[in-house]
Chains A and B, each alone.
Chain A
Amino acid sequence: MTGNPALAIETHELVKVYGETRALDGLDLTVRTGTIHGVLGPNGAGKTTAMKILATLLQPTSGNAQVFGHDVVREASAVRRRIGLTGQTMALDEDMTGLQNLILAGRLQGLRHRPATARAEQLLEAFELTEVGNRLVKTYSGGQKRRIDVAASMVVTHELLFLDEPTTGLDPRSRSEVWQMIRVLVQDGGTILLTTQYLDEADQMADDLTLIDHGRVVARGTPAELKTSRADGVLEVLLTDPSRRAEAGTLLARAIGAGVDADSDPSRLLVKIPDADQAARALGELARAGISVEDFTLGQPSLDTVFLALTGHSTLDDTREEEAEVRA
């Protein structure tokens, strides 16, 4: 099978089974060279499993995957020569200094000790970590650790970089820092595969998106395409009194037969509706029942609402099958 040169990644019918769990259930993923490709899905959707197979860390149960035309199982060493990986858990030795961690990362890529040291110092400077460079990593703040970790994935320029949920658990400031770093990484024409469970992250960062759930692709396209592809709009209702949300949900489900989903914000309701008339009816029903509405929005659905429309659940509060991935 010869690969398409415009594609950095191509998988066919990728399956990974752990015991009873099908972590990947026939995943077809294509990633164009030179793009930031977002893989979006809830916890347990199979994002990390897919990434580990592509990074030659796991073997698929069936199906095949190619990175720049190289089979990830049979030509693992050819693949490893072209990829970099920043996993969900940080690849740092906390009993070494930041500088030493970067030197180690450079040597693992084949840099001799002296060039590795020069590169490490350059990276510390660029990431504004020079002052703490000679301190043990275990004394770093969370944001500093993540910066060193991302810096370590930049010791050499990778043609394809895997970033597995790079901003999970970071405060908003560190998150936007990491986003900016990721944009720098593609300036040299590199390709990035980014997994995330944050819709705003996927929306902001990715050129192309693949939405996955239960180990399968549920949708693909650019963020803009995905947002307009669904005819169904979503009405977002902000209730004055959060305690009446359950009541409002039941009422709307009965009155207009709409799919209703509760948001993580306790006073917010997401209502799937086919057109604006139905939205008016829904608001009317609420008014008749005496449930006051603080605010509502209708219009182009966000990725959040697209995901809800496609899968029937939101990306947020979902931890199914997470153990299966952890075991990997």
Chain B
Amino acid sequence: MTSSSTQARPAAEFPGRSVPSLQRPPAPGVLFACRTFAWRTLIKLKYVQDHLGTAVVFPVILTLVFTYLLGGAIAGTPGNYLQFFLPGVIVLSLVASSMMSALTLNRDIATGMFDRVRSTPIWQPAVLVGTMGGDVLRYALTSVVPLALGLLLGFRPDGGFAGVVLALLYLQLFTFSVSWLWMFFAVLIPQPTAAAGVVNLLQFILLFGSNILAPSQTMPGWLEAVVKLNPVTHAATTTRGLMHGDLSGGDLTAGLLACAALIVVFATPTALLYNRKQR
């Protein structure tokens, strides 16, 4: 730190001395930008135990606990309960899993990552769109694990193979829709711990204030009314109906409307808030 070091500019060993210059390539295209963020989402799956835990371990534990510990009391036998509960546990795992990317975005905003990305010439919405694209694979994994376990334990979907596939496709749509809810809070709340707190609390309310664990008809009238307002309820009903092949047209419409409502209500404000971060 003495003045002599100013003169002796090229010191013998400094890190970075041997970095040759590299011309900047042309600005990346929209697709490449999206794939970059999808890639980031997927490699994190491998490293972050949270992600893997939510995708694999959590649904397994839930299925076992609810089916064997409580299932007999709720539905007479664990086997009966499993027929009701398994489609719900897939919804539950997916909703829990859908928070992850929002929390990553929230951390990016809190650190310098957001600024660095914004100062590059990439197509900016790739941050949201690409990340959600990468999530599709994660969601597929999240839904297949409890399904396989359920089949092993005696879950017998009356809707057959086609019904199950349709239900899984519907769930991709629903999870994409509900992830906008988390994205909204991720962009709204600047502090990562506060954002995680709100998102976790909301998730808890959405999951337990639904018909995932027990049919809403068994609840007091006021609670049944509240539960019927919850989009998770409609997603669970639609999933169940598709898997068991007894979905009514009205329930399917409600299930699709729940997705549309989540996107309409949360995607636009999220995009606006995200852009406003610039002003």
Contact = CB atoms under 8 A, between A and B. Distances in A.
B14 A181 contact: yes
Contacts of B21: 157, 188
Contacts of A126: 15-19
B32 interface: yes
B218 interface: no
A200 B1 contact: yes
Contact of A109 (B11, B25, B104): B25
A177 B120 contact: no
Instruction: Name, among B6, B9, B112, B278, the residue most crowded by chain A CB atoms within 10 Å (CB to CB).
Output: B112
B53 interface: no
A262 to B, nearest CB: 23
A95 B28 CA distance: 25
Instruction: Name, among A84, A85, A152, the residue most crowded by chain B CB atoms within 10 Å (CB to CB).
Output: A85
A96 B1 contact: no
B15 A181 contact: yes
A123 B19 contact: yes
Interface stretch (B42-50, B60-68, B132-140): B42-50
Interface in A180-239: 180-181, 183-184, 188, 200, 204
A57 interface: yes
Interface in A75-96: 77, 80-81, 83-93, 95-96
A113 B25 CA distance: 13
Contacts of B16: 123, 126-127, 150-151, 154, 180-181, 184
B112 A96 contact: no
B115 interface: yes
A284 interface: no
Contacts of A128: 15
Contacts of B112: 86-92, 149
A95 to B, nearest CB: 5
A111 interface: yes
Interface residues of B, number: 47
B121 interface: yes
B43 A110 contact: no
Given A59-B279, A88-B112, A156-B22, A110 B28 contact: yes
Interface string B10-42: 110011111111111111100010001001100
A107 B28 contact: yes
Contacts of A95: 44, 47-48, 104
A184 B19 contact: yes
A194 to B, nearest CB: 15
B170 to A, nearest CB: 30
A169 interface: no
B113 interface: yes
A55 B115 contact: yes
B22 A155 contact: yes
Contacts of B148: none
A172 interface: yes
Interface in B109-126: 110-113, 115-122
Contact of B43 (A100, A123, A152, A180): A100
B5 interface: yes
For the complex of A and B, list the 10 residue pairs with the smallest distance between their C-beta atoms, beginning with the closest. A180-B14, A91-B116, A87-B112, A91-B112, A110-B28, A157-B21, A156-B24, A85-B119, A89-B112, A110-B25
8 contacts: A57-B278, A80-B119, A80-B120, A80-B121, A85-B119, A96-B40, A97-B47, A110-B26
Interface of B: 1, 3, 5-6, 9-11, 14-28, 32, 36, 39-40, 43-44, 47-48, 104, 107-108, 110-113, 115-122, 278-279
